[in-house]
Amino acid sequence: MTPRVIFPNKILPYLLVAPQLAITLVFFYWPAGQALYQSMLRQDPFGLKSRFVWFANFRKVLVDPAYLNSIKVTVVFSLATAIVAMGVALLLAVMAEKVVRGKGIYRTLMIWPYAVAPAIAGMLGLFLFNPSIGSLSYLLRRFGIAWDPLLNGTHAMILLVAAAAWKQISYNFLFFIAGLQAVPKTLIEAAAMDGASETKRFWTIVFPLLAPTTFFLLVVNTVYALFDTFGIVHAVTGGGPGKTTETLVYKVYNDGFVNLILGDSAAQSVILMIIVIALTAIQFRYVERRVHYG
Amino acid sequence: MRKPLVKATQEGMKSMSIIKHGLAAFAAGTLGVALALPAAAAPVKFDFWFGLSGDLARVVDTLCKNFNASQSDYEVVCTSQGNYDATLQNTIAAFRAGKQPTVVQVYDVGTATMMLSGAYYPADKLMEENGYKIDYSDYFPGIARYYATSKGEMLSFPFNSSTALMYWNKDAFAKIGKTEAPKTWEEVGADLQAMKDAGYECPMAINISANESWQLMEQFSAIHNQPIATKSNGYDGLDARLAVNKTKFVQYVGDLKKWYDAGLIKIKSKDLGQDMVQAFASGTCQVILTSVGDHGTVGKTHKEGMNWDVAELPVYAGTERKNSLVGGASLWVLSGKPAEEYKGAAAFLNFIHDPKTALFWSTNTGYIPVAKSGFDYMKSNGFYDKAPYKGRETAIASLTASEPTEITRGIRLGNFTQIRAEFGTQMQAIFANKVSVQDGLDTLVKNGDAILDRFQQTYPNKTLP
């Protein structure tokens, strides 16, 4: 008897995907629906009375200077984190490829930080850069920089980007290493014989061939910087000083759970959801076209 | 590849459920034994959530143990939520889920939020229904009026009360030839300069986060009889709006900033590795403004041989000193709980009101007794003459410096937590030279008013009780 490739049972396939569907429904559609509904309510903190106010919360949020500031903060933070994390990772990956002996040890050491939880990464950064006891701030002061992330917004942002990017570098490194290994040696050798310098070889052969990896990492890093950095912000700056590091996600938390303005917080989540959908659509539609998949 | 994985997981779950069942059976067994043994019914359990942590949380735990040991009908389960903000936030989240504690500690500035919430069971009504006679006139007027409604009803029970004091290092002041604490801010400015000239790195320490709104803005305003908001700081209506950008407070922030720029004041916070209290106790900084609640901590942790004392907060020259504000928290009983738990809550509140509990509480913390009976009991025991506690009566003197005025009876503003956060934000902007003092305080008022506006809109057609 030959094995059948389709299921004999009509219900079984549905049953098999049911857990996945259930998880999506419970953990995505349900809360998303709740957020949509909540974003049009004005409710007292204890949830005893609520009024349906249509889009009043959205109107309020979108003209709120604090929210507009938060958008600016998020753009700066996400771009800086993605650029730093990817740039450093690429550099390290290219260098690690050149290592002849002990490649494995180098790689393992580079990948390690990825296992660190975001909040802990933040705390590490906080300790290193702590104005009074941090070893790095001691060095900075030796060079005449008045390092003070607790009062200086720019310093706080640098600290945050450093902590967020540091953690992501190892992840990017891993993918760049894999990408680099997929670059055909023959191409590089041929270019070398044609007299192309090392820099030239990198930018004209290696970098374009890495494009799919780079694109993938761009998506992942942006999403990471946008949504997965809550723990770092919470541990390092708490959005301060003076809201200079309050990202969109942190503001949702702050308004919803600290300030207990659930309507505004829900409206912000919905806006965030729209931003993510738009961002992903743009990335796949426009950026991906230029990617050479080799 | 897939199938074995699924199987393994299933097996894993099976074994887990076996463990669970086993545990349940075990628990049922012990429960059965426990039920079979005593003849008396099991005590009614109820939850008490509080916002104190560290050393103070241990004192609360002992308090709870003492209550449970004092009778057998009720058992209070006390859980620290870490800090005041988290306690209120978690309580609200729990309330929305129908899992609220029976008794909760809510800090001073959460009072307006609680009063309008409709989520509480009035404490005075609770005590009366359960046959406890509480003499509300026994509370210090400054304390009672902070938490009472406009008609004088006590919806919650004052629990831990404190006020802000100036802690000063006697050794450092002796170096500049002074034996008394400065009484005016003008004097403070001169003394700080003198200490700086005498080689002290950090004459005074402050912090400028949301929390310090209490001593820097609220206490300062009360003592100088300056409004924080219109409508008697909010007691007379939800349409009250902030007023701190037009009062003496502006001058005060200006002076603090000036002293900070001149290196007379250093910022000390937990994030910097050392908070104000630690900086003072270690002798690093010579003056701090903080709660009398820290009196015990400084006493236990100060540097060997260091001489220090507390004094009332200074005023600007020519100011007639008013009473300072009571800080701390009160206990609220939440609605939606079964009757037996309310009986337990009433017994618990009655236990806390007892002068003997007040003595235990104040001895082990730095908090002051909230009722006169408690204070008298402690005084008759010679508490305030004993070495480690000496000086704490300064807090009572500060709280009772005058009869509470319309302005000094307290602050009754909705979502005041957020306004405090805004205070921190703007102070940081001012101290980082991003804005001028006046601009920063104007923004504080503007953003604070938006918060008050929103609170008013949340409760349309409602007035404060």
Output the domain CATH number for residue B238. Answer: 3.40.190.10
DSSP state letter for A28: I
Q: How many CB atoms lie within 10 A of CB B17?
A: 10
- Beta-strand ranges (E) seen in A21-145 are 41-43, 50-52
Domains of chain B: total: 2
A4-8 mean pLDDT: 68
**Beta-sheet pairing, B308-311 with B120-121:** unpaired
Say whether both B371 and B428 belong to one domain: no
Considering the domain boundaries, does residue B11 fall inside one?
Answer: no
Say whether both B296 and B170 belong to one domain: yes
Say whether both B296 and B283 belong to one domain: yes
Distances (CA, A) of B459 to B118, B158, B199, B414: 11, 25, 55, 10
Segments in chain B below pLDDT 70: 1-40, 271
User: Containing H/E element for B367?
Assistant: none
pLDDT of residue A244: 86
Taking the CA of residue A59 and the nearest CA in chain B, the distance in Å comes to 14
A94-114 mean pLDDT: 82
Q: Which of B335, B419, B304 is nearest to B103 (CA)?
A: B335
Say whether both B340 and B320 belong to one domain: no
For residue A49, pLDDT over 50 is answered with yes
Say whether both B120 and B209 belong to one domain: no
Q: How many CB atoms lie within 10 A of CB A65?
A: 11
Q: How far apart are the first and last CA of chain A?
A: 42
Q: Cα separation of B262 and B196, whole Å?
A: 10
Considering the domain boundaries, does residue B201 fall inside one?
Answer: yes
Which CATH architecture fits A57-290? Orthogonal Bundle (1.10)
DSSP state letter for B229: B
Interface of A with B in 150-189 (CB under 8 A): 150-153
Say whether both B350 and B291 belong to one domain: no
> What value does the mean pLDDT of chain A take?
85
Mutate to test the interface with A, among B454, B459, B462 (most CBs of A within 10 A): B454
Say whether both B135 and B195 belong to one domain: no
> Is the distance from CB of A128 to CB of A139 less than 8 angstroms?
no
Q: Cα separation of B354 and B352, whole Å?
A: 5
B338, two tokens: 């079964």
CB contact under 8 A, B95 and A47: yes
Considering the domain boundaries, does residue B396 fall inside one?
Answer: no
Q: Which candidate from B85, B96, B431 shows the least CB-CB separation from A151?
A: B431
At residue A9, the 3 state secondary structure works out as coil
- How many helices (H) and strands (E) are present in chain A, helices listed first? 15, 2
Domain extent for B299: 164-324+414-458
Q: How many CB atoms lie within 10 A of CB B227?
A: 22
Using left for φ > 0, alpha for ψ between -120 and 50, and beta otherwise, residue B9 falls in: alpha
For residue A290, name the pLDDT band (cuts at 50, 70, 90).
low
More confident call, B269 vs A89: A89
For residue A287, name the pLDDT band (cuts at 50, 70, 90).
low
Say whether both B230 and B147 belong to one domain: no
Q: Cα separation of B268 and B277, whole Å?
A: 9
Contacts with A241 from chain B: Cβ below 8 Å: 425, 428-429, 432
> Is the distance from CB of B422 to CB of B444 less than 8 angstroms?
yes
Say whether both B339 and B259 belong to one domain: no
> Is the distance from CB of A161 to CB of A237 less than 8 angstroms?
no
Q: Is this prediction's ipTM beyond 0.85?
A: no
Say whether both B331 and B182 belong to one domain: no
- SS3 percent helix, strand, coil of chain B, rounded to 5, is 55, 15, 30
Q: Which candidate from B117, B418, B431 shows the least CB-CB separation from A46?
A: B117
pLDDT of residue A33: 92
Say whether both B422 and B307 belong to one domain: yes
Q: Cα separation of A165 and A203, whole Å?
A: 24
Say whether both B303 and B213 belong to one domain: yes
Q: Is B459 on the interface with A (CB under 8 A)?
A: yes
For residue A210, pLDDT over 80 is answered with yes
> Is the distance from CB of A130 to CB of A137 less than 8 angstroms?
yes
Query: Which residues, 6+ apart, have CB-to-CB distance to A43 below 8 Å?
Result: A49, A50, A51, A262, A263, B458
Q: Which of B222, B227, B232, B396 is nearest to B324 (CA)?
A: B222
Contacts with B272 from chain A: Cβ below 8 Å: 130-132, 150
Which residue ranges make up each domain of chain A? 57-290
A274-280 mean pLDDT: 84
Least confident of A62-66, A106-110, B101-105: A106-110
CB contact under 8 A, B424 and A240: yes
How big is the A-B interface in CB pairs under 8 Å? Answer: 72
A164-192 mean pLDDT: 88
A218, two tokens: 């761009």
B177, two tokens: 């030839």
* Residue of chain B minimizing CA distance to A245: B425
> Is the distance from CB of B98 to CB of B379 less than 8 angstroms?
no
Longest Cα–Cα distance of chain A, Å, equals 81
A50-66 mean pLDDT: 89
Query: Which residues, 6+ apart, have CB-to-CB distance to B304 below 8 Å?
Result: none
Q: Cα separation of B300 and B280, whole Å?
A: 12
Considering the domain boundaries, does residue B403 fall inside one?
Answer: no
More confident call, B252 vs A184: B252
Considering the domain boundaries, does residue B73 fall inside one?
Answer: yes
User: Containing H/E element for B288?
Assistant: strand B285-291
Q: What percent of chain A has pLDDT over 90?
A: 23
A65-93 mean pLDDT: 93
Contacts with A45 from chain B: Cβ below 8 Å: 92, 113, 117, 458
Considering the domain boundaries, does residue B95 fall inside one?
Answer: yes
Considering the domain boundaries, does residue B15 fall inside one?
Answer: no
Considering the domain boundaries, does residue B180 fall inside one?
Answer: yes
